Structure 1
Amino acid sequence: MSEYIEVALRSLFILAALFFITKLLGKKQLSQLSFFEYITGITVGSIAGTLSMDLELKLLEGLMSILLWFSVPFVFSLISLKSMKFRHFIEGTPTIFIENGNILEDALKKEKISIDELLEQLRKRNIFRASDVQYASLDTNGELSVLLKKEKQPLLYEDFFHYTGKMIQIQPVITDGEIDIQGLRQLGFSEEWLRLQLKQRKVPLENVFLAQADTSGQLTIDLFDWTGEQPS
């Protein structure tokens, strides 16, 4: 068989295998990938490119290597869907950089982000004063989320009718039926407060898919889509 034909066939076969793998991984965009998933993707791509061009490498052995590199993040993602603690361990949690206009220097040092880099990210969002920011955090995918102070935000319809003049912070407090202690602490509420709120609404903890609370104590709840079975 001609080397050119063999390279073409190997490339097409590997391309089909990578397409199947990416379909299994889901529809995450590049910016949504965790650092571990990003590194795995680069490694798998490098193996695939080498395998398609180097005819001395055995195709099946190369595919086995690709499957092994793929299987680890795939298994991790499945476990992360079931366990909030494991998800926080693997993907980390958002880091607050600015709170009520104050820059948290220790948080910047922890994430190895300089003040110049933070200000650059703010300028990309047309924010030129850190004091205008009510809340800014570095998400697990490396994106900076920013909430401006109320007086710096564009006017909305509700501003004309029930403007409170006070900004509130919103945090998830229950995810997949598990209480998020860190979210409660950031809002200044206790686990007992949350359980009391659920009791008053007659909602079992294990029935809650997502619950979010704000600093004013308002709690919103989204339940599992029940089919008669308990969530695993």
Structure 2
Amino acid sequence: MWNDLLHLDVPVAEKILRTVLVYLVIVVLFRLTGKRMIASLNTLDFVVMFLLSNVVQNAIIGNDNSVTGGVIGAVTLVLANVAVDRLAYVSPWWRRWIEGTPTTIVDHGHVQRRTLRRVGIRQAEVDHAVRIQNGNDISDVWAGVLEPTGQFVLTLRQEKQGADHGDVAALAERLDRIERLLRDTVRG
């Protein structure tokens, strides 16, 4: 029994190479599918993710079903991910290639239609993002950027932005001054 659990049917070097190669192929596939897929997984995307993990399983483990082989594969995946992440940290070129760059979707209140088609975002998704940011329509948006993480970040025009803590504090201070002036006027 212990022999079946721990005996490797595939050499360690082959198992590591298989895992790294499959990892890199998956990274390239996700990079080519674009940022949008990463941020907003729909039902079909989840199905693909689940099936993808099953499809590549045999490519990673080969004919080896041992615990040792599984541990080697898991450790290799984690280490490959750490290595790619560290490389992205130290190399701006690698980071741009792995993560991508921000993509402007809305510029000065105008949707970049060609860019929408290229990144696979529907107008309805842009409109939804505007409403989430408390905008009425796209004309309220100064800029809209699809970040490398897949997040769609909108910046409302200055006059359409809500009040922040500094605005409220300045208004409270101004009201205090008006109140003091009124009190002084009534007394004087």
- 1:146 aligns to what SS in structure 2? strand
**Aligned residue in 2 for 1:64:** 72
TM-score, length basis structure 2: 0.53
Q: In percent, how many aligned pairs have the same letter?
A: 21
Q: Cα RMSD between the aligned structures?
A: 3.3
Task: Kindly provide the amino acid, as one letter, of the partner of residue 69 in structure 1.
Answer: L
Letter in 1 for 2:109: G
Counterparts of 1:67 and 1:128, CA distance in 2: 49
- In the other structure, the counterpart of 1:124 is 132
Of 78, 84, 89, the residue aligned with 1:76 is: 84
How far did 1:43 drift?
4.2
2:173: which partner in 1?
none
What count of residue pairs does the alignment treat as equivalent? 118
- 2:157 — aligned with what? 149
Matched, 1:108 2:116: yes
State the 1:65 CA deviation.
Answer: 1.4
Using a 3 Å threshold, how does the CA distance of structure 1 residues 43 and 72 change in structure 2: closer, same or farther? farther
Of the three residues 84, 100, 106, the one matched with 1:92 is 100
More strand by share: 1
Find out whether 1:134 has 2:146 as its counterpart.
Answer: no
Which structure 2 segments of 5+ residues have no match?
Answer: 6-36, 42-48, 171-188
Deviation at 1:121, TM superposition (A): 2.3
Greater displacement, 119-128 / 89-98: 119-128
State the SS of the aligned residue for 1:134.
Answer: strand
Write the distance in 2 (CA, Å) between the matches of 1:110 and 1:68: 35
Which of the pair has the greater relative contact order for Cα pairs under 8 Å at 6+ separation? 2
SS of the residue corresponding to residue 98 of structure 1 reads: strand
Segments of structure 1 that go 5 or more residues without pairing to the other structure are 7-33, 161-232
Q: Distance in 2 between matches of 1:147 and 1:117?
A: 16
Q: Whose helix proportion is higher, 1 or 2?
A: 2
Query: d(CA) in 1 for partners of 2:127 and 2:154?
Result: 12
Give the residue type in structure 1 aligned to 2:150.
G
CA contact 2:135–2:160 (8 Å) conserved in 1: no
